[in-house]
Structure 1
Amino acid sequence: MSDSAAERLAENFAAGDFADRYARLFGEQAVTDSTLIELVLPEIAEDGAVVPVTIRSELDGIDRLYLLADKNPTPLVAEFELAPLVALQLTARIKLAESCRVTLVARRDGQLLRCSRWVNVMRGGCGSG
């Protein structure tokens, strides 16, 4: 990994404010709410340390995904780079510090598409205690 790529990752995944991280990632680019990308999360997560998430879309040409949690100490939870010809079906586990809105932004042909879901977290997964 080049120094510039490592620096970019370190900056993107740094602790900070959600609004600041969102602005740094997307700047002045238009982000459109879309039902063509799907973010599946439980309504209630018993343990914020292991929250299952599924991302799906039938759109072609999605080359990057950003997953953010507005209350996490590190707002950018995950970033995925995809081959544009890949059918999007991705499942992972994420950490959530507390109940919050999780936002997915997908980049497709230079456009940014967004969807979000609220998750109630019973026990936070990002704390030190």
Structure 2
Amino acid sequence: MTCSRRNFLKTSGVLATGGLLAAGASDSRAARLAEDFAVGDFAGRYASLFGDQAVSESELIQLILPEIAEDGAVVPVTISSELDGIERLYLLADKNPTPLIAEFELTPLLALHLTARIKLAESSRVTLVARREGQLLRCSRWVKVMRGGCGSG
């Protein structure tokens, strides 16, 4: 009985230590996400995400948005591509108080086709940046918002 209790305590200690290490990792990730999704200006957020990396305009990723959104609180968006190896997507709006709308981490096992609803504070350019094999690909669309969705009237 003592032997199994001793093994239980050893195993519990290892699991607890692993849990604490994982919690520390998630705390640093949570801090990074809080910074990325903080209120700020578009140019500053864009620079913090991509720095001086080259970003190429691409028609190989599709960003489908309505030209006119009746309500900025519920703007439908569809993102799709036939490209393989897209690792991460960043969706930004240049006039939102929080420019980074969404960030998606993808697995190469799935075809890229996402649909969602986003909030836009006012009429603005919505930009999609895809990270693929060390490259950054970008496309953007202008959306005219009839009624704002981020706390405006």
DSSP-derived class of the 1:123 partner: coil
Aligned-pair identity (%): 83
Name the structure with the higher helix share.
2
Deviation for aligned residue 1:86: 1.4
The one-letter code matched in structure 2 to 1:43 is E
Change (3 A) 1:50 1:18: same
Alignment of 1:36-75 (within 5 A): 36-75=60-99
**What CA distance in whole angstroms lies between the structure 2 residues aligned with 1:85 and 1:115?**
23
The answer as to 2:141 corresponding to 1:117 is yes
Q: Deviations over 1:76-116 (max 9, x none)?
A: 00000000221000000000000000000000001000000
Measured in 1, the distance between the counterparts of 2:117 and 2:72 equals: 10
Listed as ranges, the gaps of 5+ residues in structure 2 are: 1-22
Match of 1:78 among 96, 102, 105: 102
Moved over 6 A (4+): none
The structure where strand makes up a greater share of residues is: 1
TM-score of the two chains, using structure 1 as the length reference? 0.98
Structure with the greater alpha carbon radius of gyration: 2
Q: SS in structure 2 opposite 1:79?
A: strand
Number of matched residues? Answer: 129
Residue 10 of structure 2: aligned partner: none
1:127 CA displacement: 1.3
Residue 35 (structure 1) aligned with residue 59 (structure 2): yes
Q: TM-score under structure 2 normalisation? A: 0.82
